[in-house]
Amino acid sequence: MSNFIIQTNKLTKKFGKFVAANELTFEVKKGEIFGFLGANGAGKTTAIRMLCGLSKPSSGSATVAGFDIYTQTESIKKNIGYMSQKFSLYNDLTVLENLAFFGGIYGLSKNVVKEKSQELITKLQIEEHKDKLVESLPLGWKQKLAFLTSVIHNPKIIFLDEPTGGVDPITRRKFWDLIYEASENGITVFITTHYMDESEYCNRVSIMVDGEIVELDTPHNLKEKYDCNKMDDVFVKIARKSKRVE
């Protein structure tokens, strides 16, 4: 197996005449934190959906965790985790019930789920809240919980689609601690975000404009190339080229 966990070659998705993602070619290295940036409507979600097997590409090819996205979506699904911008735990279930459910649909045995749940609850220090309904928890906790739930089955890759939307800076910072920890455990992190300060935490970032990847490099190199101090400015310089008007 190569050193790359995601490889795409001219991956394209068209909706009628509209080209949502145009000939995306990139690689994601094993264990890295890969920032997938772009303005609203640039095609990030379309790309993620293709990689997760939720949507069939119009043309091009790609492998995720070594599996083909056309023919081996079932194997891909077993090896990835996913957390979307919309909060994705069940509000009317307790913390433990949510963990049992998500562990269950990934086919984990009861004992493993128990063990994992305990580990996770200790980590988040929410022992006294484990039997409370998720809706009663503060948003920050929910999001951390959702993240840890999405990696409960030890996936090779975790796709995070704007996971920190609507959260205060301190909680975001703590959230990133969890991401680093997952990364240290060998999980590759594929993350989209609107917060450019977050993109500084990534090993490498790609920037999409109008369905195409226009830049792919480390944040450091990009800042040098565009002669900026912050990723924020790099992003603005690049995103201005967009012709898609919202």
Partner 1 sequence: MKSFIAFIIKEYYHIIRDKRSLLILLGMPIVQIILFGYGITNEINDANIAILDNSKDNITKEISNKLLSTKYFKLKRYLDSEREIEKSFKSGEIKQVLVFEPHFAENLQKFGSASIHLITDGTDPNIGNTIMNYTNSIILNYQSEMNVNLAGIINVLPEVKMRYNPELKGVYLFVPGLITIILNLISAMMTSISIAREKEMGTMEVLLVSPMKPIFVIVAKLIPYSLISFSITIIILILGGTIFNVPITGSLGFLLLECILYLFLGLSMGILISTIAPTQQVAMFISMIGLMLPTILLSGFIIPIENMPYWLQILSNIIPAKWFIIIIKDIMLKGSGITFVWKETLIIVLMITFLLIVSAKKYKIRLQ
Binding site for partner 1 (CB under 8 A): 52-56, 74, 77-78, 80, 82-93, 97, 100-109, 133, 150, 159
Rounded Cα gap, residues 106 and 81, in angstroms: 10
The least distance separating partner 1 from the CB of residue 81, rounded to whole angstroms, comes to 8
With tokens 């030890």, the residue in question is: 154
The least distance separating partner 1 from the CB of residue 159, rounded to whole angstroms, comes to 8
* CB-nearer residue toward partner 1: 94 or 183: 94
List helix spans (H) across the chain: 44-51, 73-79, 95-105, 110-124, 139-150, 169-184, 196-199, 219-226, 231-239
> And the tokens for 104?
């269950």
* CB-nearer residue toward partner 1: 114 or 223: 114
The least distance separating partner 1 from the CB of residue 7, rounded to whole angstroms, comes to 20
The least distance separating partner 1 from the CB of residue 84, rounded to whole angstroms, comes to 5
* CB-nearer residue toward partner 1: 102 or 235: 102
The least distance separating partner 1 from the CB of residue 91, rounded to whole angstroms, comes to 8
* CB-nearer residue toward partner 1: 82 or 141: 82
Rounded Cα gap, residues 200 and 136, in angstroms: 33
CA proximity to 21, closest of 52, 54, 58, 74: 58
The least distance separating partner 1 from the CB of residue 110, rounded to whole angstroms, comes to 9
* CB-nearer residue toward partner 1: 110 or 244: 110
Helix, strand, or coil (residue 150): helix
* CB-nearer residue toward partner 1: 40 or 109: 109
CA proximity to 6, closest of 86, 79, 71: 79
> And the tokens for 53?
């097997």
Give me the amino acid identity at 2: S
* CB-nearer residue toward partner 1: 105 or 245: 105
Rounded Cα gap, residues 241 and 41, in angstroms: 14
The least distance separating partner 1 from the CB of residue 82, rounded to whole angstroms, comes to 4
CA proximity to 134, closest of 95, 103, 161: 95
Beta pairing partners, 6:
28, 64
